[in-house]
Amino acid sequence: MLPVRRSRPSSALCALFAAAALLAAISVHAQTEPPTITTFETRVIAASDLPWNGAAPATHGLRLTLVVLRETPWDADSVLAAMKRMAPLFVPCGVRIIAAELRALDAPPRFRDYATQVSRELARRVPVPRPAIYFVADTLNRPAFDAEAIGRANSGQRPELADTVWVAAGTRDLHVVLAHELAHVLMDSGAHSGEPANLMRGETTPENTRLTAAQCARLRATAVRNGLLTPLAN
C-alpha cells in the first residue's frame, strides 16, 4: 500500500526471470519432496509486557502473530521493539494488544522475499493465527511496495494471504508503517485518508499517526466481525 522509496531492480525483464524461476521451482517440487520449513524460535509476549496507557480501559483485545524469516536483515528483538512502539497508536481506538507471538522461521531462500505465489505457499504450509505480520527481505512483486496489506476484500485470488501484512527490510518509520498496514487489515479496506496527520494518509510519516472516531468505529466493527479483534469485558 506504500510507494517504494528504495532503489530496487524493477525492469520487466527481472519480473520475467522471477516468473520463469517460479515455474521451474514448481515443476521441480512437483516431483520431489518440498523443501523443509521449520520454526527456529517462538517467543510469546504477554499483555503485562505491553503496557496500556489509555485514559480509559481498553475495550477490544488484539492477538498478533509476527513471523520473521531468518537469514534476512530482520531479527526478533528489533521486530518486537517495533511492535511495542506501534501498540500506542491503537490506544485511541480502545484496542490493546493482549498477546503477541513471534515465530522465527528457517526457510529456503525463495521464501525470504514476498512474492505472491511463493508467499501463498509459505502461509499455507506454516499456518499461523491471524492477523499476522510477515517480515521478509524484499518484495519481488511489481509494482514493489515496502509493505503490503491483504484483507478479505483483496484476497480473492490469494486466500492464504487474507489478514496478513508483508514488510520488506529497510522500511522507514517502521512502527507507523506497521500500524497503517494493520489498520488496513482490521478495517478490511485499502482506503486512504486526506485528513492532516492521519495514520491512513497515503504517505507514512512519524507525524501521521491519528485515527478518527469514525475510523476506530469501522476498525472495531469490521475486525470483530472477521474474528480479528475480541471485545473485552471491563
Residues at the interface with Zn ion (CB under 5 A): 1
Q: How far is the CB of 65 from Zn ion (least distance, A)?
A: 20
Taking the C-alpha atoms of residue 78 and residue 185, their distance in angstroms, rounded to an integer, is 22
Identity of the residue, 59 or 154, whose beta carbon is nearer to Zn ion in the bound complex: 154
- With H, G, I as helix, E, B as strand and everything else as coil, classify residue 145: coil
Please provide the DSSP assignment of 70-96 as one string. Answer: SSSS--HHHHHHHHHHHGGGGGGGTEE
Whole-angstrom CA distances from 81 to 86, 88, 107, 133, 147 are 9, 12, 23, 14, 18
Q: How far is the CB of 111 from Zn ion (least distance, A)?
A: 25
- Check: CB of residue 165 under 8 Å from CB of residue 136: no
| Alpha helices per DSSP H over the chain | 12-31, 76-86, 116-125, 174-187, 213-225
Taking the C-alpha atoms of residue 112 and residue 104, their distance in angstroms, rounded to an integer, is 12
Q: How far is the CB of 147 from Zn ion (least distance, A)?
A: 8
Identity of the residue, 59 or 141, whose beta carbon is nearer to Zn ion in the bound complex: 141
70: number of Cβ within 10 Å:
15
Identity of the residue, 1 or 179, whose beta carbon is nearer to Zn ion in the bound complex: 1
- Check: CB of residue 103 under 8 Å from CB of residue 39: yes
Q: How far is the CB of 184 from Zn ion (least distance, A)?
A: 5
Is it true that the peptide bond before 131 is cis, omega within 30 degrees of 0? yes
Identity of the residue, 2 or 104, whose beta carbon is nearer to Zn ion in the bound complex: 2
Residue 154: which residues within 8 A CB-CB, separation 6 or more? Answer: 190
Identity of the residue, 1 or 167, whose beta carbon is nearer to Zn ion in the bound complex: 1
Which residue in the shown chain puts its C-beta closest to Zn ion? 1
Identity of the residue, 1 or 115, whose beta carbon is nearer to Zn ion in the bound complex: 1
Identity of the residue, 138 or 148, whose beta carbon is nearer to Zn ion in the bound complex: 148
Closest CA to 206 of 218, 215, 197: 197
